[in-house]
Structure 1
Amino acid sequence: MKWVYKYDENFIWLAGGEIEIDLGNGQQIPEGYTLKQPTDGLYIAKYDPVKDEWFESASQEYIDSFQPDPLPSDDVTLLKKQVALLTYQISQFQKGGAS
């Protein structure tokens, strides 16, 4: 038994459309399916039947839309100061002193 992976008419992977087939008993791979498993980490996996491989078809703008916005520099500076203070306090505590 082998898993086959479904793609649509534009060769875009249809997650959850996988089926198991029995190649040993002569069952054929249905049209719109491939034995090649989509690569992990693809946002919009697209299949290339000529190369028999999956590739990323999402635009960089689409991928970037899932990334969290960076913290404003003021927040980053504040966090750095807090980390430095906590590190100092921990070192003082480990030495047995108080700050």
Structure 2
Amino acid sequence: MIQAYEYNQQNELIIPIEVFERDEGNYIIPEQCTTIAPPNNPSFYKAAFDVKKQQWYETATQEYIDSLKPAPLPPSDIELLKKQNALLSQQLTQLLAMQKVGASD
């Protein structure tokens, strides 16, 4: 058995498949398949096979790649409290500074 990689009409990778030996060392690779493995490092988001060059290439757009990234998590309660505390500290410092200016007049 050998590993082959099936690709669609746009030459995009569909799925790895197993190809079994027909007779003593002879394998029949189906059409739209190659035994050339897509690169593992770096891996592709949307691999496609260039039949003429016999190599894989990336077809994913940057927009598509960005869409796969998870949305940022909302701030935790502790983070919210830290921000609120910082804001209150800043307001208190400004209030005390204003009182000092008023007391010196």
- Which TM class, normalised by the smaller chain length? 0.5 to 0.7
Does the 8 Å contact 2:19/2:27 carry over to 1?
no
* Superposition pairs of residues 13-32 of structure 1, within 5 angstroms: 13-16=13-16, 18-22=17-21, 24-32=24-32
Tell me the distance in 1 between the aligned counterparts of 2:67 and 2:27.
42
Q: CA deviation at 1:14?
A: 0.6
Does the 8 Å contact 2:4/2:34 carry over to 1?
yes
Identical amino acids, percent of aligned pairs: 35
Task: Identify the residue that residue 55 of structure 2 maps to in structure 1.
Answer: 53
Tell me the distance in 1 between the aligned counterparts of 2:35 and 2:15.
14
Counterpart secondary structure, 2:14: coil
Does the 8 Å contact 2:8/2:14 carry over to 1?
yes
Task: Identify the residue that residue 62 of structure 1 maps to in structure 2.
Answer: 64
When Rg is computed on C-alpha atoms for both structures, the one with the higher figure is 2
Task: Identify the residue that residue 12 of structure 1 maps to in structure 2.
Answer: 12
Q: CA deviation at 1:42?
A: 1.1
Tell me the distance in 1 between the aligned counterparts of 2:73 and 2:27.
54
Aligned residues, how many?
77
**Higher strand share goes to which structure?**
2
Gaps of 5+ in 1: 82-99
Does the 8 Å contact 1:38/1:54 carry over to 2?
yes
Q: CA deviation at 1:39?
A: 1.9
Structure 2 counterpart of 1:28, one-letter code: I
Structure 1 counterpart of 2:21, one-letter code: D
Could you say what the CA RMSD is over the residues aligned between the two structures, in angstroms?
A: 2.7
Q: CA deviation at 1:19?
A: 1.9
Does the 8 Å contact 1:3/1:35 carry over to 2?
yes
